Amino acid sequence: MTAPAFEEVDPGRDCGCPSCAHARRAGPRPPSGRFAGHLAARGVVIVAAAASAALGALTPAAAVTAPQAPPRPGAPGDGSPGDGEPATPQGVKSPLHGPAGPLPTPATPAPATPPPATRTQIIDRAKVWVAAKVPYSMDDYWSDGYRQDCSGYVSMAWGLGSNEWTGSLDQFGVKITKEELLPGDILLFHNPDDPERGSHVVIFGGWTDYTHTYYTVYEQTPPNARTQATPYPYWSNTSKYVPYRYKGVVADTAGAQAADDAKAPGPLAGRAGPSRPASHGVPGYPGRARFRPGETGAHVTELGERLVRKGFARFYPTGPGPRWGDADRRAVEAFQRAQGWRGGAADGYPGPETWRRLFS
């Protein structure tokens, strides 16, 4: 183990501690390193070095078991949301592609029938900006016509015909509760007294754990659009974020999953068939008939373990096993409903699209 390095520090001129007073009487020291202050600072350096050495002796197993929180945004004042209020300057309500004509006022009411959008469409649009790492700007407009700030991002994901701001987005939504949140809903904080101080809006992407403490966020914030695990409702101003649901949201086509099942090479109506090959890290879909009462196999355990990782552990009092049962069916149904599916699309039996979303 490398011995810790120590650096001398000059005594403080006006420090009255015994160490500094003695050092001043003993005479000046040669110029020291980058540390300044009274001699007690040496103890801090020594303790820090010793602690560092001790930590370096941890076994790999100890390092693995150490709890880790999701990555946090930057500190206050650097232009990104952090422990303090986020610096989120935003543009005013404007047409697509910028103020080419007369600007609508923030008081302009929302249309009676906003453009329809499914939850899948909303999240897919949000992912486009994340993948492109669209830079944050209150003045610039992306190629799709939407302003590159947080409210422009939501306007884009919801498919609105204009760039809204945090003071007008509520007109396009209805208030909901935390328990009602589904992917594609938003969490909105508007500070009417100082809109550029704290005001922010993010897109809810789904819960990351069964306690509903953290969720997947999609947001436009400096330096660019991103997605990550975020504490509910946000890192700061926790009492001021309000959940909203887009007025124009429509259910994903109930038959979409069934149609996807029909196209899959897996079996239907209990008939045997080949498995779908794996792609992009997603294990091959074993076929719908492999998830029926009495069916056993590693694929059932694999599905259950994935559902636990996705936050649906509450359905498994004894843990996932190789035999398909009611716990598996209820967990799958809950996952499907979290995707915004209803009716026959949330029947508790994993089709190819359910499988893809679970493992993607």
Cα dihedral sign, 100-101-104-109 = negative
Q: Identify the pLDDT of residue 70.
A: 46
Assess if residue 193 is contained within a domain. Answer: yes
Write the single-letter amino acid at 164. Answer: E
Which range (75-89, 167-181, 205-219) has the least confidence? Answer: 75-89
Q: Identify the pLDDT of residue 303.
A: 93
Q: Alpha-carbon distance 172 to 174, whole Å? A: 7
Please indicate, yes or no, whether residues 243 and 121 belong to a single structural domain of this protein: yes
Q: Alpha-carbon distance 328 to 349, whole Å? A: 9
CA dihedral 22, 26, 31, 37 (to 10 degrees): 10
Q: Identify the pLDDT of residue 59.
A: 39
Assess if residue 102 is contained within a domain. Answer: no
Percent of the chain at pLDDT exceeding 70: 61
Residue 134 has a CB neighbour count (10 Å cut-off) of: 22
Average pLDDT, the chain: 73
Buried b (16+ CB within 10 A) or exposed e, 191-214: beeebeebbbbbbbbbbbeeeeeb
Q: How confident is the model at residue 359 (pLDDT cuts 50, 70, 90)?
A: confident
Assess if residue 297 is contained within a domain. Answer: yes
Please indicate, yes or no, whether residues 330 and 223 belong to a single structural domain of this protein: no
Please indicate, yes or no, whether residues 229 and 277 belong to a single structural domain of this protein: no
Q: Any idea what DSSP says for residue 178? A: G
The closest alpha carbon to 222, from 122, 96, 77, belongs to 77
Domain boundary among 198, 220, 250: 250
Q: Identify the pLDDT of residue 224.
A: 96
Please indicate, yes or no, whether residues 264 and 189 belong to a single structural domain of this protein: no
Q: Helix (H, G, I), strand (E, B), or coil: what is residue 37?
A: coil
30-45 residue pLDDT tens: 443 333 344 333 443 3
Q: Alpha-carbon distance 173 to 274, whole Å? A: 45
Q: Identify the pLDDT of residue 210.
A: 82
Residues 147, 156 contacting (CB under 8 angstroms): no
What's the Rg (C-alpha) of the chain? 27
Quick check: 100 pLDDT over 60?
Answer: no
Assess if residue 85 is contained within a domain. Answer: no
How many domains are there within the chain? 3
Q: Helix (H, G, I), strand (E, B), or coil: what is residue 42?
A: helix
Quick check: 219 pLDDT over 70?
Answer: yes
Q: Which domain covers residue 52, as residue numbers?
A: 18-65
Residues 198, 189 contacting (CB under 8 angstroms): yes
Please indicate, yes or no, whether residues 232 and 138 belong to a single structural domain of this protein: yes
**41: enclosing H helix or E strand:** helix 40-56
Mean pLDDT of 134-146: 93
Q: How many helices (H) and strands (E) does the chain have?
A: 9, 8
Q: Helix (H, G, I), strand (E, B), or coil: what is residue 216?
A: strand
- pTM for this structure? 0.50
Q: Alpha-carbon distance 151 to 135, whole Å? A: 14
Assess if residue 12 is contained within a domain. Answer: no
Quick check: 200 pLDDT over 50?
Answer: yes
For residue 197, list its beta bridge partners: 87
Please indicate, yes or no, whether residues 237 and 265 belong to a single structural domain of this protein: no
Q: Any idea what DSSP says for residue 314? A: G
Domain boundary among 227, 250, 273: 250
Mean pLDDT of 185-203: 86
Please indicate, yes or no, whether residues 225 and 263 belong to a single structural domain of this protein: no
Please indicate, yes or no, whether residues 54 and 126 belong to a single structural domain of this protein: no
Assess if residue 279 is contained within a domain. Answer: yes
**Placement of tokens 């810790």 in the chain:** 4
Mean pLDDT of 299-316: 91
Please indicate, yes or no, whether residues 180 and 156 belong to a single structural domain of this protein: yes
- DSSP-assigned letters across all residues of 246-302: ETTEEPPPTTHHHHHHHHSSS-STT---PPPPPBTTBPPP--GGGSSTT-BSHHHHH
User: Angle at CA 7, nearest 5°, toward 59 and 36?
Assistant: 115
- Which CATH number is 291's domain given? 1.10.101
Assess if residue 3 is contained within a domain. Answer: no
Residues 348, 336 contacting (CB under 8 angstroms): yes
Please indicate, yes or no, whether residues 165 and 289 belong to a single structural domain of this protein: no
Please indicate, yes or no, whether residues 29 and 140 belong to a single structural domain of this protein: no
Assess if residue 84 is contained within a domain. Answer: no
